[in-house]
């Protein structure tokens, strides 16, 4: 407890000093309110069969933004009555609504330095619906980020609190954090860089992972080995990868790869055991021309990627997920948390591939269209090796006898009615074949469930969102 307090004193001292040296004279305050009416399916209904199908709910949000040359303050509070989460006061006091913090934090900028802290949605260095190191699905988590960008070199270090749970088996499961780093060089309109993530458990904030600019692999390796005594955390997972992107006035293209584990034995020791490669990849292109804006994207990941580990009956908890489980109780019923809300990296996680096409026509720029096709195999982001006690030798990718297929198209239209008032209509329609179902597992030491595609579990997907947003500036 004392060590944690010292770490945060150092962290907030940095923030305070940044505020002292920053000076600004132009201020702006923006207040925004929005209301959304939803009918039909949702992400929860895909995972929970008929439990959330054909639902009708309202959502409200209030956003406050205060900006200056160097200081930005923003916060968003929402209310929903979709019934997907527990709330002790929802029905008694708030007519079925529960509250949530969508985002809240501050951003400080001075020259090449930028500092961000708060409960925020994270952003990857690449612009894609299939970013690998930071999920494109918006999940707000506590974080503290420092970025340096001088136009030719780019560096980011970011602490993220994955979870800080009240209940659970032990401190290693309840308290989990990560540190994300990016090192990039810029060559004209192109960037090439290295990314890594260190996931550690049993501790909320590790100062060395955040402050030491050495890649996290060496921090983990040296401290764990001991020079002369082991330091830091013994239970840590290291993930690394690379990215390339190029952007100009008309186009943006990128490629990104993530490596959680690589099978070097295929080259060094072909006769020894062959551990599975745990790799994800993503690539995409966006082009703007006379016809409009067109985007093409693809990503995938091998089996076991982003999972924790378990070896010799010793369970690890360092999977790259926000929470150590994906099933929770609601009104004495088990509810599956959609895995897109669980993975901290690539939103579809392990053992899948995904394709997306989106288009914005030049003759109607208020309209956005997209079509996504996803193939999913058996997966469990919280159970190492799924139902096995150890890994299946070799690399595996969508070898399942039954696979889940999703095809969903979305049309979104936004129109400004008057100054400060916008309306939005969003329609999504599609179909899911062999939808995955929850399968209990008791054949290993972890005994956590998996999601497995079920042949014949086919159902349509249809949802409608109508929203209005009003903004005013002071």
**Three-state secondary structure of 267-336:** HHCCCCCCCCCEEEEEEEEEEEECCEEEEEEEEEECCCCCCCCEECCEECCCCCECCCCCEEEECCEEEE
pLDDT reading at 3 higher than 60: no
What is the C-alpha to C-alpha distance for residues 401 and 12, in angstroms, rounded to an integer?
52
Burial state string for 324-360 with b = 16 or more CB within 10 A and e = fewer than 16: bbbeeeeeeeebbbbbbbbbbbbbbbbbbbbbbebeb
Q: Work out whether strand 367-376 and strand 333-336 pair parallel, antiparallel, or are unpaired.
A: unpaired
Q: 161 forms bridges with which residues in the sheet?
A: 177
Mean pLDDT of the chain: 89
The per-residue pLDDT for 8 is 56
The per-residue pLDDT for 263 is 73
pLDDT grade for 405, boundaries at 50, 70 and 90: very high
Other beta carbons within 10 angstroms of residue 10's beta carbon come to 13
Q: Residue 87 sits in which domain range?
A: 2-473
Query: Domains in the chain: how many in total?
Result: 1
CB-CB contact of 276 with 263 (8 Å)? yes
Handedness of CA 78, 83, 89, 94 (dihedral sign): positive
pLDDT grade for 4, boundaries at 50, 70 and 90: low
The per-residue pLDDT for 304 is 93
pLDDT reading at 220 higher than 50: yes
- Which residue in 201, 207, 236, 234 sits closest to 6, CA to CA? 207
- Which residue in 252, 248, 274 sits closest to 263, CA to CA? 274
Phi then psi for residue 54, to 5 deg, are: 55, 40
- Which residue in 124, 159, 122 sits closest to 144, CA to CA? 159
Phi then psi for residue 172, to 5 deg, are: -70, -30
What is the C-alpha to C-alpha distance for residues 75 and 101, in angstroms, rounded to an integer?
8
Give 470's contacts (C-beta < 8 A, 6+ positions apart).
32, 33, 34, 420, 421, 422
For 45-54, 257-266, 390-399, which range has the lowest pLDDT when averaged over its residues?
45-54
For 91-105, 185-199, 239-253, which range has the lowest pLDDT when averaged over its residues?
91-105
178 vs 65 pLDDT, higher one:
178
The per-residue pLDDT for 169 is 73
Residue 342 to residues 137, 172, 337, 429, Cα–Cα distance (Å): 9, 17, 7, 24
pLDDT grade for 25, boundaries at 50, 70 and 90: very low
Cis peptide leading into residue 16 (ω within 30°):
no
- Which residue in 56, 135, 42 sits closest to 430, CA to CA? 42
Phi then psi for residue 19, to 5 deg, are: -65, -40
The per-residue pLDDT for 12 is 57
Q: Enter the DSSP assignment of 223.
A: H
Structural tokens at position 444: 């290993």
CB-CB contact of 200 with 209 (8 Å)? yes
Helices within 41-153 (DSSP H only): 43-47, 90-93
Residue 418 to residues 94, 297, 413, 424, 426, Cα–Cα distance (Å): 32, 35, 16, 13, 20
- Which residue in 173, 212, 176 sits closest to 196, CA to CA? 212
What is the C-alpha to C-alpha distance for residues 452 and 145, in angstroms, rounded to an integer?
37
The per-residue pLDDT for 233 is 63
Structural tokens at position 69: 């040359």
What is the C-alpha to C-alpha distance for residues 438 and 436, in angstroms, rounded to an integer?
7
Domain harbouring 383, CATH code: 2.40.160.10
- Which residue in 252, 236, 243, 248 sits closest to 280, CA to CA? 243
pLDDT, one tens digit per residue, over 172-210 is: 888 999 999 999 999 999 999 999 999 999 889 999 999
pLDDT grade for 18, boundaries at 50, 70 and 90: low
> Rounded to an integer, what is the distance from CA 418 to the centroid of its chain?
35
pLDDT reading at 398 higher than 90: yes
**By 3-state DSSP, what share of the chain in percent is helix, strand and coil, each rounded to 5?**
10, 50, 40
pLDDT, one tens digit per residue, over 343-388 is: 999 999 999 999 999 999 999 999 999 999 999 999 999 998 888 8
pLDDT grade for 408, boundaries at 50, 70 and 90: very high
Give the highest mean pLDDT range of 83-97, 193-207, 215-229: 193-207
For 263-277, 301-315, 409-423, which range has the lowest pLDDT when averaged over its residues?
263-277
**Mean pLDDT calculated for residue range 387-411:** 93
> ∠339-340-342 over CA atoms, to 5°?
60
* 0.75 exceeded by pTM: yes
pLDDT reading at 2 higher than 60: no
Instruction: Map residue 310 onto helix, strand or coil.
Output: strand
């Amino acid at each position: 407890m004392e060590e944690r307090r010292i770490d945060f004193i150092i962290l907030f001292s940095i923030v305070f000093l940044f505020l002292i040296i920053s000076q600004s004279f132009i201020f702006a305050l923006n207040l925004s309110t929005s209301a959304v009416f939803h009918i039909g399916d949702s992400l929860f209904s895909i995972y929970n069969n008929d439990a959330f199908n054909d639902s009708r709910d309202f959502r409200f949000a209030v956003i406050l933004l205060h900006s200056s040359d160097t200081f930005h303050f923003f916060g968003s509070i929402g209310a929903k009555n979709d019934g997907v989460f527990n709330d002790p006061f929802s029905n008694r006091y708030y007519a079925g609504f529960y509250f949530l913090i969508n985002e809240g934090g501050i951003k400080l900028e001075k020259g090449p330095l930028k500092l961000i802290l708060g409960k925020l949605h994270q952003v990857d260095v690449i612009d894609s619906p299939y970013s690998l190191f930071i999920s494109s699905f918006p999940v707000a988590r506590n974080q503290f980020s420092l970025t340096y960008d001088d136009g030719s070199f780019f560096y980011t270090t970011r602490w993220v609190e994955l979870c800080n749970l009240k209940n659970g088996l032990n401190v290693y499961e309840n308290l989990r954090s990560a540190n994300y780093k990016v090192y990039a060089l810029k060559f004209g309109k192109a960037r090439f860089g290295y990314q890594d993530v260190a996931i550690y458990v049993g501790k909320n904030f590790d100062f060395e992972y955040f402050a030491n600019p050495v890649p996290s692999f060496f921090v983990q390796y040296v401290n764990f080995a001991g020079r002369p005594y082991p330091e830091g955390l013994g239970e840590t997972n290291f993930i690394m990868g690379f990215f390339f992107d190029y952007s100009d006035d008309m186009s943006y293209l990128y490629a990104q790869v993530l490596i959680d584990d690589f099978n070097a034995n295929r080259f060094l020791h072909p006769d020894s055991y062959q551990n599975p490669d745990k790799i994800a990849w993503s690539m995409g292109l966006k082009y703007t021309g006379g016809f409009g804006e067109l985007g093409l994207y693809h990503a995938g990941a091998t089996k076991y990627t982003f999972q924790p580990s378990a070896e010799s009956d010793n369970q690890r908890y360092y999977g790259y997920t926000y929470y150590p489980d994906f099933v929770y109780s609601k009104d004495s019923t088990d509810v599956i948390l959609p895995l897109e809300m669980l993975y901290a990296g690539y939103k579809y996680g392990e053992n899948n591939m995904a394709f997306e096409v989106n288009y914005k026509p030049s003759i109607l720029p208020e309209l956005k269209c997209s079509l996504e096709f996803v193939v999913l195999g058996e997966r469990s982001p919280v159970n190492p090796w799924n139902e096995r006690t150890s890994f299946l030798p070799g690399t595996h990718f969508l070898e399942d006898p039954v696979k889940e297929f999703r095809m969903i198209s979305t049309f979104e239209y936004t129109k400004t009615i008057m100054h400060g008032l916008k309306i939005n209509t969003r329609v999504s329609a599609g179909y899911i074949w062999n939808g995955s179902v929850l399968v209990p597992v008791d054949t290993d030491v972890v005994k956590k469930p998996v999601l497995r595609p079920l042949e014949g579990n086919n159902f349509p997907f249809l949802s409608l969102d109508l929203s209005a947003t009003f903004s005013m500036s002071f």
